[in-house]
A and B are shown apart, each in its own frame.
Chain A
Amino acid sequence: MKTRKDYDIIIIGSGAGGGTVAKELSSMCADGLRIAVLEQGPRLREDEYTGRESEMAQKLYVDNGGMMTSDGTMTLAMGRLLGGSTVVYTGTSILLPEHVAERWAVPGLDWADLVGRSKKYMGENNVHLQEPEKINDNNRLFHEGCQELGYACEQFPINVKGCKGSGLCNLGCPNAAKQGTLRVQLPAAAANGVELITNCRVERIDGKTLHARIENRDFGEPSAWAPGDYTITAKAIVVSSGSVGSPALLFRSGFGDRLPMLGRYFTAHPALILVGQHAGPITNYQGHPKSYFCDEYMESERYLLETCMYFPFVTAKSLSGFGPEHSALMADMRRLQMILVLAMDPAEKDNRIEVDNDGNPVVHYAFHDTTINALVHSQRTSTRIFFAAGAERVHAPSADRFFIEAHEANRIDDIITRDNFKLGKISIASAHLMGGCRMGGDTAKSVTDAWGRVHGEPGLYVADASLFPQCSEVNPYLTIMGLADRVAQQVREDYAELAAVANTAQESAA
């Protein structure tokens, strides 16, 4: 027996996309509209943000952060809780570069308009540069290494308020300092009357009816609705389940035949975690983990380097090899300097989301040659940065040995080679999942228009990173929020007509 619920607008997902749409539409509640956000994950209690790695990975991420592509060569990190991935990112806030919008070439998407909207959220979410005294050695050494080598290096603006430098951003901030949608947009939306329904998995969309199930977990707060199956009606539906979740939901809902590009052109900024070992302890896990980026090789080799600091298990699994050498590197994490490589992968039609027979998402991803070249070249560059920063030795997964010693620095190009880059052996991860419901001019080439309207489906919208027609080349959340702001505007503009159509249909049925 399914319980029926009636709403005017339903938003599926509560991350950078869904949270933004919820807040932007929330003023419509004052006109009597019923709006709800349906989030698959729970709302964690504040005392559940413990900073313990295994525990938090289980509570915050899909598959503990280890969901794999179908061939098992890349892991995908997706937040699954109220606030979505904005709870687990580091809050680095970069606007979409103009040349990227030009590459995207989406009819009706104006870069200045998008960036103007993203800037609104920079203000709303307290984006600013961290004070110099709060920058730790791990970050400082990266900056010094880049300067030594003459590489372009800039400081990341971040969206924190009252950051105490726990360094635990990717395990959910225990100090509630990160200004994601959980802390900013969702509370604002709720204050205006939007209902936040957690532990709610939407199985499929059938016209203007959603089929969903509430299932509480053994952690987090219970859902506002009782466990069980629901049918939920709405006049407008905004899908914001992320680049894997949104195409999967639309496939489960039978849109695959009507939308040939659904799920396609998935990109991921495939990432490597690289480690340099210093002679003695440096400050690395104290303070915000991500202060600088280096885009020296962005255009020529298609990768970005960022500072990072990860946790014991994630660090251990990011290293190639095993045994005593692996243990020697892991033995004292205070000595480790880390760099995150993000490759700018091209959007390819066959890199795609599908669903299996049970409706679960399957991600097919093949590495393009240029992406592999970028991942190899970036290891050489990072190794140079580590040594320029004073590291004693470096671990690069495409090296012909576990450690590259400082005295071998003049042989980096011989030691780190493409031949040693073996998919499956090397730990490649992605936390920037993009595409799958790409924007564009028509159904033959895209899933939605430039305002997130699904082609040929009035009242159905997408608002998340799945809209990206190609990768963003920067950390994506501000761009997602800018696009979601546009989607919210479109929903608002369309709403009167959608309501009229729904009312007419209801009268006819009656």
Chain B
Amino acid sequence: MSALDDSQWALLMAVAARVTPETAGLDDTGKRDFKGLIDTALGQRPAAVQKQFGTLLKIVRLAPVFRYGKPFDKLSPQQQDAVLAWFQDAPVTLLRKGTWGLKAMVFMGYYGRPEAAAQVHWTPEFDGNTELARRHNERIAGGAS
């Protein structure tokens, strides 16, 4: 069973599209992996933490109603950015840390995928010293210090 229901996932994906715009371009496999990483991480947390995360999503969805008259998922991208920026710098620590947690989940889902690691050119090899030696020799051959 998923840690989030369909409507919570939909909101999280809307948030993700602003936090990491690349998530909007994920194919079906990418979306499945994105959700899988978040689901696993949430599922391992205590029930109270899962509940807090659900509450946070609810707050992010409904808080904009007071400012824009519409929930988060009905806002324009610029308005969504403004809402997230406000939450990120909110005067209350609880809201700031909640936003940090929300962003962290999105980053985990996106950058935690091995495919994303390759896309951002993080491709470590178990024998990194070989590449290091090659670059070192290149530098010496090029006369650099």
Measured CB to CB, the residues of A under 8 A from B are 51-54, 58, 63-64, 66, 71-73, 133-134, 136-137, 163-168, 174-175, 281, 283, 285-287, 311-313, 315-317, 320-324, 326-327, 330-334, 360, 422-425, 427
A334 x B121 contact (CB < 8 A): yes
Number of A-B contacts (CB under 8 A): 148
Choice from B37, B103, B129 contacting A164 with Cβ under 8 Å: B129
A312 x B41 contact (CB < 8 A): no
On whether A333 and B132 interact (CB within 8 A), knowing A312-B116, A317-B108, A327-B22, the answer reads no
Q: Is B114 an interface residue (CB 8 A)?
A: yes
Choice from A283, A360, A425 contacting B100 with Cβ under 8 Å: A425
Residues of B within 8 A of A326 (CB): 19-20
Q: Give residues of chain B (42-82) contacting chain A, Cβ–Cβ below 8 Å.
A: 44-46, 81
B22 x A285 contact (CB < 8 A): no
Residues of B within 8 A of A287 (CB): 128-129, 132
Q: Is B88 an interface residue (CB 8 A)?
A: yes
Besides A66-B104, A422-B96, 19 more A-B contacts (Cβ < 8 Å) are A51-B124, A72-B93, A73-B93, A133-B133, A166-B125, A283-B135, A285-B128, A286-B124, A312-B122, A313-B111, A317-B104, A317-B107, A322-B20, A327-B21, A333-B122, A424-B94, A424-B95, A425-B97, A425-B99
Using CB atoms, name the residue of chain B closest to A163: B129
Closest 8 A-B residue pairs measured CB to CB?
Answer: A424-B96, A424-B97, A165-B129, A286-B128, A165-B128, A54-B112, A72-B97, A316-B107
Using CB atoms, name the residue of chain B closest to A329: B120
Choice from B100, B104, B111, B136 contacting A312 with Cβ under 8 Å: B111
A166 x B128 contact (CB < 8 A): yes
**Chain B contact residues: helix, strand, loop or mixed:** helix
On whether A58 and B40 interact (CB within 8 A), knowing A165-B129, A166-B128, A287-B129, the answer reads yes
Q: Is B27 an interface residue (CB 8 A)?
A: no
Q: Is B127 an interface residue (CB 8 A)?
A: yes
Choice from A134, A281, A330 contacting B132 with Cβ under 8 Å: A134
Q: Is B84 an interface residue (CB 8 A)?
A: yes
A427 x B100 contact (CB < 8 A): yes
**Chain A contact residues: helix, strand, loop or mixed:** loop
A63 x B45 contact (CB < 8 A): yes
Q: Give residues of chain B (114-144) contacting chain A, Cβ–Cβ below 8 Å.
A: 114, 116-117, 120-133, 135-136
Give bound CA distance, A333 to B115, whole Å.
14
Q: Is B18 an interface residue (CB 8 A)?
A: yes
A168 x B124 contact (CB < 8 A): yes
On whether A54 and B126 interact (CB within 8 A), knowing A286-B132, A332-B121, A422-B89, the answer reads no
A332 to chain B, nearest CB (A): 5
Give bound CA distance, A316 to B122, whole Å.
13
B89 x A425 contact (CB < 8 A): yes
Residues of A within 8 A of B103 (CB): 317, 322
Q: List 29 A-B contacts (CB under 8 A).
A: A51-B124, A51-B126, A52-B117, A53-B111, A54-B37, A71-B97, A72-B101, A164-B128, A165-B128, A167-B128, A283-B132, A285-B124, A311-B122, A312-B117, A313-B108, A316-B111, A317-B103, A317-B104, A317-B107, A317-B108, A323-B18, A323-B21, A324-B21, A332-B120, A332-B121, A423-B93, A423-B96, A423-B97, A424-B98
A322 x B18 contact (CB < 8 A): yes
B121 x A63 contact (CB < 8 A): no
Residues of A within 8 A of B96 (CB): 422-425
A390 to chain B, nearest CB (A): 13
Residues of A within 8 A of B110 (CB): 316
A286 x B21 contact (CB < 8 A): no
Using CB atoms, name the residue of chain A closest to B139: A137
Choice from B88, B125, B133, B136 contacting A425 with Cβ under 8 Å: B88
On whether A327 and B20 interact (CB within 8 A), knowing A54-B108, A322-B88, the answer reads yes
Residues of B within 8 A of A164 (CB): 126-129
Give bound CA distance, A323 to B23, whole Å.
11
Give bound CA distance, A378 to B135, whole Å.
31
Residues of A within 8 A of B104 (CB): 66, 317, 427
Residues of B within 8 A of A167 (CB): 124, 128
B97 x A73 contact (CB < 8 A): yes
